[in-house]
Structure 1
Amino acid sequence: MTTTAPSTSVPSTDSLFCSSVAVSALSAAVELGLLDELKDRGELRFDGRRDGADRMDPAMVRGLLLPLEWAGIVTLDEQAARPGPGFDAAYADRGYFYWLAGGNGSLMSRAPHVALERHRQGEFYTRDMRAVAVSSRMIGDVEVELRFDKILADRPPRAVCDLGCGSGQRLIRIAGNHPGVRGVGVDLAPAAVELSTTSVAEAGMADRISVHHGDVHALPQQAEFAGVDTVTCVFMGHDFWPYDKCVTVLRRIREVFPDVERFLLCDVVRSETAPGPETPIFRLGFELAHTLMGVTLPTRADWMTAFDAAGWECEAVQEFNRPPGGLLFELRPAAGAN
């Protein structure tokens, strides 16, 4: 028996189920490189799929892509897959799906467990931090990184530290755009540190960019921080919170970077409206995942209050369509701040 939706604004349970399957398939296709192959070649043939340890059975590949045909992302015949009418949109937004199912799949599947207070002690959840780092880069590539490039082109930095450096691609791109710049990356996740270190070495920039394991809540004084005039932080500022901890972190950044002249902080803020038919991509997943993790998501007003208390002056705020709710705060140390 088919369940029908009570109104045009509410999806049927059939659609909800099929959509969840398509999300998992899309995330897998991203990680396996299938979407990139379709983008680059315009066709993905099922026979002769890779050799050795990376070989995939043709029937498996076709089966994996079948939910994407349902979603209109690809079209299939017996031999190959080709981009469907929804391919370009799905490819542009692939980072959100990989973030949800790839990076946070284990967290979401454990929601009933982590929801109980008796389990919310210590490290009570896991995420695939490599997938989180890669998907965050994909999300940022649409708008965020273009804004960073423009800001830094208008006023080139001398040395940059990226807090929560993730995949390392931001530092690599900045160093490539500005040959005289030195870069420092800091990340808490060992998987992200390993990924960014490898990426930096493969880019041939290990002599200009160093990557360190570190926690923003306890940033140490490091020799590499001297001379850093620009600090960046993208999609991890909410990890500074709640409020008292955030103010402490923001003050500590001024202390450990004695030569900092600006702090470019980009994050997704908590929505203050109820979800509905117009709720954009990412919002529900972002807020649910962080609720499960016990992470406080600040609003725009919360950030402004914390900046003022921590001795940072906000010179400008830029808004993003992708990701929805994304803001870029352009900060500088307030004159006379202790």
Structure 2
Amino acid sequence: MSTQHVPAPSASPLTHRRPAFDLFEGYALSSVLAGLEIGGLLGTLERDGLSEEMVLDRPPEAANLLGASLRYLVDRGVVRVGASGYSLTEYGREICADKGYLVWLVGGYGGPLSKLDKFVTGAARYGIDYTRNGEWVAGGAAMLGRADVVPYAVDLLKGINFTRMVDIGCGNARFLLLACQQFGASGVGVDLSPEACQLAEEAVDRAGMRERVQIVLGDAEDLDRIPGLDETDLVVTFFLLHEVLGKGREALVGYLRELSDRLPPGAHLLVAEVEPPDGGVSSRQWFTPEFAYVHAVMSQILYPAQQWSEALTDGGFEVAEVLRDGMPGGLIILGRKPAS
């Protein structure tokens, strides 16, 4: 009787790089980390670590899945396990420094992106059949903005005077509250998302700012819903104008013109936006190709800095300063309504 020799498996059967596995890993890692953050566990892991008792102190199925999630993160070098439980590796801490981007994408846009088959075939439409999760778009944007947007915006605000501000598209109101506290201003935050407004209301209460900060649930394009615009000397709008631009440049300029007309002379407009990718090799561009694509799903486009400046000028604002912040492709533009 003859026998057939079967070679022993090698330690690494891959003889060449297979890029699909990079995408496979990235998708799973992003989903796990965003899920742990949204579930309130990643912050605990960052600060104190998670003991085995903390993992087991939940319903059996949840405990099993949390344990499997942490072991997966160990396999990928994000988490280490020791006598006291699970903690982040240095690599894990580097990732978590930018976790807002993962929450924004997975938590905010994971639903619509999972329905691309329906969108590209016309079987469903974004905004009618499926839409983004406003709570985690706002939450992720607030997290990623702490290091990559807010410090740059605050530096610009140090060069102007204002006593009353309106944050259009305020999300969870973190920036609104920060600016009002740091500069002694009062303010109004406006957002279309009920979930974001709920988070904002809770943040206002925690800060003890109820007498100085008001949150309004409403469409940012309905300026009639925003109280006291004629007395407002600073309007902030972060990552909102591209949504107006989705209706065309004429709609964007018309919106800016209406806003300018309602503000007092000398009032400032602070805008944060993201430029589109420059058309180079995608692998050499962080974030902007994905940001542009997600907004294409929503039928929205992006402008480069020069076109944003031209739109603000046509809308009745003088462009005082344009700078690039810490977000890949990120822009901050400071405009001003002429004093006379």
What does residue 296 of structure 1 align with? 301
Q: Select 1:91's aligned residue among 73, 96, 117.
A: 96
1:323 aligns with 2:323: no
User: Aligned to 1:61, which of 62, 66, 74?
Assistant: 66
- Per the alignment, in what secondary structure is the counterpart of residue 105 of structure 2? helix
Q: CA deviation at 1:2?
A: 5.8
Residue 228 (structure 1) shift: 0.9
Q: Secondary structure at the match of 1:217?
A: coil
Provide the rounded CA distance (Å) in 2 between the counterparts of 1:66 and 1:146. Answer: 36
1:269 corresponds to 2:275: yes
After TM superposition, the structure 1 = structure 2 runs for residues 72-87 of structure 1, keeping only pairs within 5 Å, are: 72-76=77-81, 80-87=85-92
User: Aligned equivalents of 2:56 and 2:186: distance in 1?
Assistant: 39
Question: What letter corresponds to residue 185 of structure 1 in structure 2?
Answer: G
Equivalent-residue separation in structure 2 for 1:159 and 1:4 (angstroms): 63
For residues 64 and 222 of structure 2, the distance between their equivalents in structure 1, rounded to whole angstroms, comes to 50
Which structure 2 residues correspond to residues 273-292 of structure 1 after superposition, within 5 A? 273-280=279-286, 282-292=287-297
In the other structure, the counterpart of 2:7 is none
1:260 Cα deviation from its structure 2 partner = 5.6
Instruction: State how far apart, in whole Å, the 1-side matches of 2:253 and 2:15 are.
Output: 50
- Identify if the C-alpha distance between structure 1 residues 160 and 93 changes in structure 2 by more than 3 Å, giving closer, same or farther: same
C-alpha distance in structure 2 between counterparts of 1:2 and 1:235, whole Å: 46
Could you tell me whether the CA contact under 8 Å between 1:47 and 1:79 is conserved in 2?
Answer: no
* Distance of aligned partners of 1:300 and 1:13 in 2 relative to their CA distance in 1, 3 Å threshold: same
Q: Give 1:15 deviation, angstroms.
A: 2.5
> How many Å apart are 1:163 and its aligned residue?
0.7
Q: After the TM superposition, which residues 53-202 of structure 1 pair with which residues of structure 2 at under 5 Å, given as runs?
A: 57-76=62-81, 80-117=85-122, 119-120=124-125, 123-179=128-184, 181-202=185-206
SS in structure 2 at match of 1:232: strand
Structure-2-length-normalised TM-score: 0.88
Equivalent-residue separation in structure 1 for 2:131 and 2:77 (angstroms): 32
TM-score by length of 1: 0.88
Report the residue type matching 1:262 in the other structure: H
CA distance in structure 1 between the aligned counterparts of 2:159 and 2:27, rounded to whole angstroms: 43
Which amino acid is the alignment partner of residue 30 of structure 1? E
Shift of 1:150: 2.0
C-alpha displacement at 1:59, in angstroms?
2.8
Structure 1 residue 299 displacement after superposition: 2.1
For 2:339 and 2:180, locate their aligned partners in 1 and report how far apart those are by CA, in whole Å.
29
Give the aligned residue type for 1:302: Q
- Structure 1 residue 52: deviation in Å? 7.5
Instruction: Compute the displacement of 1:168 (Å).
Output: 0.7
Q: Deviations over 1:96-119 (max 9, x none)?
A: 111111111101101111223463
Query: 1:26 — aligned with what?
Result: 33
**How far apart are 1:85 and its partner, in Å?**
2.8
- Aligned equivalents of 1:304, 1:275: Cα separation in 2: 26
The one-letter code of the counterpart of 2:52 is: F
How many residues were matched structurally? 327
Of 120-129 and 30-39, the range deviating more from structure 2: 120-129
Equivalent residue, structure 1, for 2:4: none
- Secondary structure at the counterpart of residue 216 of structure 1: coil
Gaps of 5+ in 1: none
CA distance in 2, matches of 1:161, 1:26: 33
The amino acid of 2:40's aligned partner reads G
Task: State the alpha-carbon separation in 2 of the partners of residues 177 and 49 from structure 1.
Answer: 39
2:150 aligns to what SS in structure 1?
helix
